[in-house]
Amino acid sequence: MKGNGARRLLAVWVAMALAILLAGPGVAQMSQGTDANDGDSEEREWFPLESINAGLDEVPEELRRETPRETIRSFLELTEQEDFVGAAHVLNLGELDPAEQRERGAELARQLAEVLQRGERLNASDLSGRPDAAIEDPSGQHPQVGQPRRNLELASLDAEGDTYDIRLARYRVENEDPVWLITADSVASIPVLYEAFGPSLLETFIPDRFKATLGMLQIWEWIAIPLFLLVIGLVGWGVYGLVGLLAHWFPSGAPSIFAGRIRGPMALLVMAIVAQAVLDYVVSFTAVATTFIRILLIILIAWGVGTIALRLVDTLLLKVTRRIVGEIDDTKPRDERKLLTTLYALRRVIILITVVAVAVYVLSQIQLFETLGMSILASASVLAVLVGIAGQAVLGNILSSFQVSLAKPVRIGDLVMFEGQWCYVEGIFYTFIRLRVWDERRLIVPVTYFVSRPFENLSVKSAKMCRTLELVLHLSADIQIIRDKFLALAKEEDNVVEHHKLCCYVTGQSERTQTVSCYLMASDPFAGWIAEMNVREKLMAFIRDNHPEWWPREVVVLRQHDIAKGGHADGRELN
């Protein structure tokens, strides 16, 4: 027993020794963690440097670098005054030799000012006014609220297929106040960005007096932008006319129809592409104008490509409709009408995908997601509620249209009885159904209204329809003669089918008349209505010409003394 206890005690000591050996470094770090953190807490708020731009002159008195806002505001003011040597103090030129910092720094400051003016509109007021650049968010929804920062992004620009960030960082030389400077990596990328966003060749010929700022733009831009828009408009007008000529030159059919439908979208697309090329290779404006123009061009290009794609789908759908289905009515086979309904449903799916793709492309190109960032997330619930309330009717119609397309209670070409009117289903769209009334009128019915009302689909199984013809005759009428005549007349009608189902019976009787009902089967409802009218007219003509006594008439019973007097009975004179 003692031996077993000793072995257990030895095992416990060995396990404790191994745990201490394995956890030793971690324990040491934990024991020293508080002191280390206390020593690094201040260094986390800035980057330490031995010196800042030793090759430059004294820092100008008007230059303020304590906060990001003051740093950029001072830089913009100095470059506007063309004091590029003073503005160079905002750049971290530590990668340059001190002997080159003055001359090279002034040139880099000038180039950076041009890049910020043309590449991305920069508003110093949007930057933090705190020395530690901590985020202030009264709502507390930002995940980094209250935390000091030492690195900020001013702009993100694309050049030569790569993305370059221009960033501010907080630096401190020992025993001096920390300052905010453009980082060394950002300074190294200035020549590349200047090559992409600097002045164009055309601007070298513009006199300096026209380069003065007037409002948000320079004087020459107020003149050049209207001329730019005029030239682009003339290009679009020429493309519109050229595509119209091609539509007339093409043989009649799908190519001609497609060319005629894309005149407007093609003109806008070419205008946007030409304008983009001009901005890239001929002339460049300041960021205020360029940002607006480029966003507009992105929208036009996306809209033009999407619209042309939809016009192509519509043209192909029209071609298929004409070749397979032809005129839309319920005389076509059920499979053809089902195919056409499916094609229209596919068209709506393509439209929905195209719209979503275009919207995502535009938002990604203008970097709306990155710009709004947390604001979108913070207000997502509010936007969802507002969109749900404002678009309830539209969304309901869209969902109902997909429901109709999938369940197919009606198909394109079906004949329906809707609110007492015969209508052909001519089209099922996102928010409405277009019905063609028998007299060629069009009913535009919201989808939700249509599916919420009872309707009779006369073509759900077959277009054939039984029609009933009723005649009210005198009790003396010979039913067999009428039956034989009806059968003969019905068989002469081309629209009457299934002759073995023709029948004629007395279906009602009163003290004076009898009701004769004749039944016939027609190939389709409208043809059945015509056959019914034709047979009724011919039966009426037969009775009128051969047996006029079969028409209902009033019978008057007279007493014997009334007949002897030759007088009146019930106020009527006897003949």
Chain center to CA of 330: 34
DSSP-assigned beta bridge partners for residue 71: none
pLDDT per residue as tens, the chain (575 positions): 334 444 444 444 444 544 444 344 333 333 333 333 334 445 578 888 888 988 888 888 889 999 999 999 999 889 888 898 999 999 999 888 888 888 999 999 988 888 887 776 677 888 888 888 887 765 555 556 667 888 888 888 888 778 888 999 999 998 888 999 999 999 999 999 888 887 776 776 777 677 676 766 777 778 888 888 898 889 989 999 898 888 888 777 777 888 888 888 899 889 989 988 887 777 777 766 777 787 888 888 888 888 888 888 778 777 776 665 555 555 555 566 667 677 777 777 777 787 778 777 777 766 544 444 444 444 445 555 555 555 556 666 667 766 776 677 777 778 788 888 878 888 777 778 888 887 788 888 888 888 888 887 877 666 677 888 899 999 889 999 999 999 999 888 887 888 888 899 999 998 889 999 999 888 777 788 888 899 999 999 999 999 988 888 776 666 666 666 655 544 444 44
Here the tokens at position 35 are 């002191």
Pair 146, 160: CB distance under 8 Å: no
Going 548 to 549 to 553 to 559, the CA torsion angle's sign is positive
Ranges in the chain annotated CATH 3.30.70.100? 465-550
Q: pTM for the whole thing? A: 0.49
Q: Report d(CA 145, CA 132) in Å as an integer.
A: 12
- The H or E element spanning position 189 is none
List the Cα angle 61/66/71 in 5-degree steps. 75
- At residue 93, what is the residue type? L
A 10 A CB-CB count for 511 gives 6
Which 3 state secondary structure label does DSSP give 409? coil
Q: Which of 31, 47, 79 is nearest to 172 (CA)?
A: 47
- For residue 480, the model assigns a pLDDT of 92
- For residue 564, the model assigns a pLDDT of 63
Helix axes 263-281, 254-261, angle to 10 degrees: 50
Q: Report d(CA 451, CA 397) in Å as an integer.
A: 10
CATH class in words for 465-550:
alpha beta
- For residue 494, the model assigns a pLDDT of 83
- For residue 155, the model assigns a pLDDT of 84
Here the tokens at position 399 are 């969902």
Q: Which of 497, 408, 529, 423 is nearest to 461 (CA)?
A: 408
φ/ψ region of 373 (left if φ > 0, alpha if ψ in -120 to 50, else beta) reads left
The secondary structure of residue 58, as a DSSP letter, is P
Q: Which of 363, 193, 380, 374 is nearest to 287 (CA)?
A: 193
Pair 275, 293: CB distance under 8 Å: yes
> Given the structure tokens 């992105």, which residue do they identify?
298
- The H or E element spanning position 544 is helix 525-546
Q: How many CA atoms lie within 13 A of 504 on its CB side?
A: 23
Q: Which of 128, 50, 59 is nearest to 94 (CA)?
A: 50
